[in-house]
Structure 1
Amino acid sequence: MPRDTLTKGQIVRAAVEVLDAEGVNGMNMRRLGAQLGSAATAMYYHVESKDKLVVLAADHVFGEIELPDLATIGWQEAAATLARGAYAMITRHFWLIPAMSTHLIYGPGKARYDEHCLAVYEAAGFSDQDADQAAATVLMFVIGAAQGEAAESAWRAQLRRAGADEEEQLRDTIAHISEIAQQFPRLRARAMPSADATTAQPAEATFEFGLHALLDGLQARLAAGSIRPR
């Protein structure tokens, strides 16, 4: 595809696809050019560097998060909806967490999300400063909760780039983890097969537990007056 027929939007969307498959380490202008059927040099006509492109791609995926209507639901439900949307987005795009550790991610997509988060907490009665703190705390929880799934996806992408057998490596890793767990009684008990194995909580259930605990705690602090009213 000639450079004059490419748009920055096309390049950013293709970058997201490459990042989803390869991760940050596997993404470069040559790989991106192959994705678009264009020369790598054509990328630089629109985006000056890989780092700039990673920032643009990261900001783009923040735009995937659906924003709740504050006129129709309460603040906790709205906050939970935003948190779930961010969690789902991060687990879809595992590369976002490592990208956020090395790049300053900001743009209209991230700003749109931040603005709506602040509106939620201000509607609840938080002061401007406490709304900032509440929004940051919930986002930190979301990123931490998504870390495990994102790390596994990143690990799998690394194995694919190396041409390794994913399933064989996964079995070996699980066996190694289980061997270590045998040294610790609580971990050993949880690693043992049991009748309760079918009731093990999925990652989403753990996420929901933590999210509701966090939002309930913010509500309790607000009700107790330990958070400054607006």
Structure 2
Amino acid sequence: MPHDKLSLEQIVTAAVQILDADGVAGLNLRRLAIGLGVAPSALYWHVRNKDELLVLAGDYAWNEVDLPSPGRLGWQAAVVELASSIRLMLTNHFWLVTTMSTHVIYGPGKARVDDHSLGIYEEAGFTPEQADQVAATVLMFVLGAAQGDASERAWQARLRRTGVDEHEAFQAAVDEVNAVAQEFPRLRVRQLSSAAPASEQDPFRFGLQAIIDGLQATLLSGSVRRPQE
């Protein structure tokens, strides 16, 4: 395929597929070029290097986030929907959480989510300055929640790349965790799933609701200055 027939979107889409399968370590321009059926030099007409490609791929992934309407759902439900959609996107693209710590991932995809998020909080009654803080707080919580899912997916991708048996590696990790936990009484009790009651609520929803309840209490306390009519 000549470079002038190859689009940037094709390159980014193919890069995302590789990243989703094997993570950042599995992506290189040579492999990408082979998958697209072009010479590696053809890619350089569109991207300068792997770092630029990672930024483009990361922003591309943010386009998958749904933007719920606070007017239709109410601001609290809209926060839950938006946060859940971001978490799902980060879980599907496990490499993105780590990439965001090493690259500035910002483009139209991420900007559309940020802008919509700020709109939800401003419509709830927060000032623009407060909306900035609230949006950052909720996003930090979502990123933290997604880290666990992303870490597991990244670990599985590494095992695939190295050819290690995933079941054996998982069992070895569990045995090591259990051995360490034996030294700590509360963790020792929780080693057996039957030893601790199963939670009826998803920890993500529990934590997110706690944040929302705190924000609602702040609004009701009158400490938030509502915008002038």
TM over 0.5: yes
The one-letter code of the counterpart of 1:222 is L
After TM superposition, the score normalised by the length of structure 2 is: 0.94
2:216 equivalent in structure 1: 219
- 2:73 is paired with a residue whose SS is coil
- Cα offsets for 1:47-95 (capped at 9, x unmatched): 1111111011110110001111233110011111110000000000000
The one-letter code of the counterpart of 1:108 is P
CA distance in 2, matches of 1:35, 1:45: 17
Q: Is 2:27 the partner of 1:30?
A: no
Question: How far has the Cα of 1:196 moved from its partner?
Answer: 5.8
Is the CA contact (8 Å cut-off) linking 1:19 and 1:27 kept in structure 2?
Answer: yes
How many residues align? The count is: 227
1:79 equivalent in structure 2: 79
CA distance in 1, matches of 2:195, 2:177: 21
- Cα offsets for 1:181-228 (capped at 9, x unmatched): 11111111111242767x356xx8111111111111111112112334
The one-letter code of the counterpart of 1:226 is S
Is the CA contact (8 Å cut-off) linking 2:190 and 2:196 kept in structure 1?
Answer: no
Q: Please, what is the CA RMSD of the aligned residues?
A: 1.5
Identity of aligned residues (%): 53
- 1:38 is paired with a residue whose SS is coil
The one-letter code of the counterpart of 1:218 is L
- 1:194 is paired with a residue whose SS is helix
CA distance in 2, matches of 1:158, 1:114: 31
Gaps of 5+ in 1: none
1:210 equivalent in structure 2: 207
The one-letter code of the counterpart of 1:37 is G
Gaps of 5+ in 2: none
CA distance in 2, matches of 1:150, 1:37: 30
After TM superposition, the score normalised by the length of structure 1 is: 0.94
Q: Is 2:137 the partner of 1:137?
A: yes
- Cα 1:200/1:220, change in 2 over 3 Å: closer
